[in-house]
Structure 1
């Protein structure tokens, strides 16, 4: 009897792991879409559509505005209807947008497809958060999230050098059409898994009203949101929007070299992100020391990159080191997410993470737009060729200086984050507040 029970539990856990793997595969393409456009194909899109820098960075910013603004609602829906169901709905929208994107012949249609992709992709991460929190012991949350992000970031990795090579060989339209077809295949695989692996219906909580007021009014959460939004915005700006172009324009790197550096930056992020949860576990599930270390490293990396741009061209190697440091600094993301979940009500895991993700991506979108405006402010000093518009180093120095000021605010906020040690502290703090 006991042996049968153990066998059934092991079989159920294996099915849940298979289901989680299928969801992560769809998240892989979601992250690819975030990183690949406009960063890797910035010049191709600008030349093909005869567009300004603001028009192309707006392509990325529009994606992020939609993605970010929908995160809180995605969290509410995941808490209400379950992660897997919402992931499949989002996956369908993302797939439709991904298939139409390479067929677009005008900027309005291009923007429309990115809205579809962003709307669908907004369900991926939050749905995974909900499933991990539901299926596995909460003590392992940060560690499992780190592993999940590693495989998700792999999609972004393919959006750098591998995509750049594919675009060089086949063109950007054929390359993105191939990605859209692969995404459709993975979506169909998840639908098949959902039919084969039956899961109980999620409990019908009043999720649309669940603790939203408590989460927003929770001061402990805002100390986490500030460094999460700023650190990720700075990283994403260089990784997915202007990093490759900055290396080509101001540091003497060619397209393949710049894409290789972005590849290395994201690979570094993947490795250190996957290790951050394990490292936190090794030091007693402490989060705060690692978070402060990450915000400090962001300050150091930006200072170093500013110093590099103050020197003559052909500094791609030094700038690559700065990009790698930025990649390491953002590896605290799983710890910030875990801490946000732990300082808020247990029942609202997806909603609380949805809020931090929402504000982080809105910050990324605003940062991306501001960077495009800064670049266009130096348009008269830019060199126009048949393949690209080359902006001066002074444009990128202005962007880095703005990022440095924001990073200082992030570091200060990280000093006030509460240590949770992997436990939900919300009710404990609530009891203490009521007592006094």
Structure 2
């Protein structure tokens, strides 16, 4: 009996030791897994942060050329207004058309892969923009920058959804803030840099910073697991035409896309030039006005959905405001031009109204989603993004030629355009904005509900 009890105690002690060893090993494994997950989460955050910084650069590049350095480009290349606005137009044409292609690529290959190639093109184009020896080579550089920048937004949206599925809305909000900060930096701060070091050196600095960010992004990408290629995602262009069969979508495109496109043409292409030529502002003051517009755009992206919620999720009143506000702003400027009023405060006030009217994208996206079936609303959204930027491109390209219809004064190599040039330009913009205002009144109200089966 003694031997039996002794043997059993030894067996129990052995079992306890084994179980303790197993428990310790499991705890160590859990701790290692936790450390590994934390390490991976930290790398994913740094990867996402690099993507946000690339989006910052992409938005900065949208506004720096030609808007911030219109006179410098015209003097350096001895170019006409049409040639200079063409620099901005080729960027916008490329950016707009690429939205359609990038949307399909992101669905198939994922945001990280598309951004890796697009970011590389963005960096090369940024560096080439700083050192282009001729206007035509500068066009090539801006084409590259436009394509690279276009790949960033849809890609980072996809990656944010993958990395932060449970806090997607909040994290996407940070992405949008990062983008708007890029636009803010591309105005007054960039103009101040141009005054200090020259426009080519300022662009070179931007290109070098973009390259460093891209190298960090690419390095982190190769250390992280990436999702596989979605073989079922096909390139079917017929889906783009399906959204145009719905009349509600046409009104959304016109009422939503036109105000933003017109506003962004002011912001990125010729607004600073107009403030200098007509209102007599110096470059720094004009730059600060455009900086304020960009800040308003960022704030309004948060205010617009808040107002919509206060109105019981009604979208139509804000869409009407977008169209009408844009038309009123251009009407004020046309009246000033006709009456010879050069007040910078009045013109700046009209620009501020444009910024509020043209930046209600969260409301537009909500109405797009509520007006279309789940399998098609994403396509509609890419068509909306395409139209918004193609309007900017066409307007920006056409404005230069309209301005040249009336001979400018030339002072120290800088072309200064008169009332007739700008009156012709803003009359055209007023007519286009009236189409947006009309479309707003034709929209069906969704009240935050799915109305895809009712329109």
TM-score (norm 1): 0.88
1:256 corresponds to which residue?
A: 284
Contact 2:78 2:413 in 1 (8 A): no
Q: Does 1:159 align with 2:176?
A: no
Go from structure 1 to structure 2 and tell me whether the alpha carbon gap of 1:138 and 1:414 turns closer, same or farther (over 3 Å shift).
farther
Larger displacement relative to structure 2 (186-195 or 24-33): 186-195
Contact 1:223 1:413 in 2 (8 A): yes
Pick one of 222, 242, 246 that aligns with 2:250. Answer: 222
1:265 corresponds to which residue?
A: 293
Contact 2:107 2:230 in 1 (8 A): no
Pick one of 205, 222, 234 that aligns with 1:178. Answer: 205
Go from structure 1 to structure 2 and tell me whether the alpha carbon gap of 1:138 and 1:225 turns closer, same or farther (over 3 Å shift).
farther
Contact 2:160 2:168 in 1 (8 A): no
**Alpha-carbon distance in structure 1 between the residues aligned to 2:108 and 2:305:** 27
Q: Does 1:384 align with 2:385?
A: no
Go from structure 1 to structure 2 and tell me whether the alpha carbon gap of 1:205 and 1:166 turns closer, same or farther (over 3 Å shift).
same
1:399 corresponds to which residue?
A: 425
Q: Does 1:408 align with 2:427?
A: no
Pick one of 321, 328, 331 that aligns with 2:349. Answer: 321
SS at match of 1:238: helix
- How far apart are 1:199 and its partner, in Å? 4.1
2:21 corresponds to which residue?
A: none
Contact 1:215 1:221 in 2 (8 A): yes
Gaps of 5+ in 2: 1-25
**Alpha-carbon distance in structure 1 between the residues aligned to 2:115 and 2:138:** 24
**Alpha-carbon distance in structure 2 between the residues aligned to 1:229 and 1:216:** 14
Gaps of 5+ in 1: none
**Alpha-carbon distance in structure 2 between the residues aligned to 1:243 and 1:83:** 33
Q: Does 1:149 align with 2:176?
A: yes
Q: Does 1:105 align with 2:141?
A: no
**Alpha-carbon distance in structure 2 between the residues aligned to 1:59 and 1:235:** 18
Q: Does 1:33 align with 2:70?
A: no
**Alpha-carbon distance in structure 1 between the residues aligned to 2:106 and 2:377:** 10
Cα distance per residue 1:257-281 (max 9 Å; x no partner): 1111111111211221233334434
Contact 1:90 1:121 in 2 (8 A): yes
- How far apart are 1:347 and its partner, in Å? 4.4
- How far apart are 1:297 and its partner, in Å? 1.4
**Alpha-carbon distance in structure 1 between the residues aligned to 2:266 and 2:311:** 31
Cα distance per residue 1:139-160 (max 9 Å; x no partner): 975x765553332121111111
Larger displacement relative to structure 2 (369-378 or 302-311): 302-311
Matches within 5 A, 1:16-31: 19-31=47-59
Contact 1:146 1:275 in 2 (8 A): no
Pick one of 261, 274, 277 that aligns with 2:302. Answer: 274
**Alpha-carbon distance in structure 1 between the residues aligned to 2:205 and 2:69:** 15
- How far apart are 1:71 and its partner, in Å? 1.2
Cα distance per residue 1:93-142 (max 9 Å; x no partner): 0110001111111111111101111111111122233345556679975x
SS at match of 1:389: strand
SS at match of 1:200: coil
- How far apart are 1:306 and its partner, in Å? 2.1
Matches within 5 A, 1:19-418: 19-132=47-160, 147-201=174-228, 203-209=230-236, 211-312=239-340, 314-347=342-375, 350-379=378-407, 382-418=408-444
- How far apart are 1:186 and its partner, in Å? 1.5
**Alpha-carbon distance in structure 2 between the residues aligned to 1:27 and 1:202:** 23
- How far apart are 1:364 and its partner, in Å? 1.3
Contact 2:329 2:351 in 1 (8 A): yes
Larger displacement relative to structure 2 (68-77 or 348-357): 348-357
Go from structure 1 to structure 2 and tell me whether the alpha carbon gap of 1:204 and 1:84 turns closer, same or farther (over 3 Å shift).
same
Cα distance per residue 1:314-339 (max 9 Å; x no partner): 41122111111111111212322343
Contact 2:314 2:445 in 1 (8 A): yes
- How far apart are 1:359 and its partner, in Å? 1.9
Larger displacement relative to structure 2 (412-421 or 224-233): 412-421
Contact 1:229 1:364 in 2 (8 A): no
Contact 2:92 2:390 in 1 (8 A): yes
Contact 1:276 1:334 in 2 (8 A): yes
- How far apart are 1:67 and its partner, in Å? 1.2
Cα distance per residue 1:353-409 (max 9 Å; x no partner): 222111222221111122111110112xx2101151100022112211111111111
Cα distance per residue 1:240-299 (max 9 Å; x no partner): 111111111111211111111111111211221233334434545443322222222112
Give the aligned length. 424
Question: Over aligned residues, Cα RMSD in angstroms?
Answer: 3.0
SS at match of 1:384: strand
**Alpha-carbon distance in structure 1 between the residues aligned to 2:134 and 2:46:** 41
Contact 1:102 1:174 in 2 (8 A): yes
- How far apart are 1:42 and its partner, in Å? 0.5
